Amino acid sequence: MANRARDDDDDDAEILRELIREAKSLPALKPGEEGQLLLLAAGGDESSQERLIAAYLPTVVRLAAARSDEGLSVPDLVQEGSIGFIEAMRTFAASGESDFAAFAEARIAAQLADAIETEVSAVRDEKLLVTAAEDYDRTELLLGRELHRPPTEAELAEKLEWTLERTRYVAQAVAVARKRHDEELLAFIDPAEIDFDDPDIDGLDDPSKN
């Protein structure tokens, strides 16, 4: 698992380097060109939109790279930053602002912040559900031993001090997790993490010798 995480980090780093190379290779806008392109882009001219997106790729990459350790991959951040830039093109004319570069940078930064917060919230919610599922699983086992029968939802809710709705929701999550564990156990085994020199597995056959 650790090796896989390092591979993902290496992939992100290479993608970032490639994006930086691409950004540096793009020609800068000529004086006065940006205003004309913005007018055409606002009218739906796709070539003007693409030219502006390309011209501002260095800004998107720079802002994305600055937040590349906050939960989202570099490709995702660049994609989100591009969405922010397109929104800037769409709304600049009606914004009353006069500095498009500053306006675009603010919109890109805001889009990145929203995307990162959404990801952080999702991870937080996932961790909370995992903790609740562990509490449910442990309580169901202990209460079952006390009662010498499977506990009811009401009994579990009382013991856990949860509402019935929350107890039922977590019970469904636990049931799905148990089913997946039974069906996909082998998917959680990473051969790279197995130490074949461990004395506890000396009795296992070496698959390379079959």
> What would the pLDDT profile of 171-196 be if each residue is shown by its tens digit?
888 888 777 765 444 444 444 444 44
34 is written with which tokens? 């940006």
Question: Is 140 part of any domain?
Answer: yes
Last residue of one domain, picked from the residues 67, 99, 115: 115
Q: Which amino acid is at 185?
A: L
Quote the domain boundaries for residue 141.
Answer: 123-191
My answer on whether 108 and 144 are in the same domain is no
Distance, in Å, from the CA atom of 58 to the CA atom of 85, rounded to the nearest integer, reads: 12
Please name which of 167, 164, 69, 58 lies closest in space to residue 108, comparing C-alpha atoms. Answer: 58
Q: Is the pLDDT of residue 115 over 50?
A: yes
My answer on whether 37 and 91 are in the same domain is yes
CB 108 within 8 A of CB 59: yes
pLDDT, residue 10, reads 66
Q: Is the pLDDT of residue 70 over 60?
A: yes
pTM above 0.95, yes or no: no
Return the ∠ at Cα 71 (arms to 70 and 77), rounded to 5°. Answer: 85
Question: Is 95 part of any domain?
Answer: yes
Please give the share of the chain, as a percent, with pLDDT higher than 90.
37
Question: Is 37 part of any domain?
Answer: yes
Instruction: Domain count for the chain, please give it.
Output: 2
pLDDT, residue 190, reads 44
User: What's the CATH code of the domain at 173?
Assistant: 1.10.10
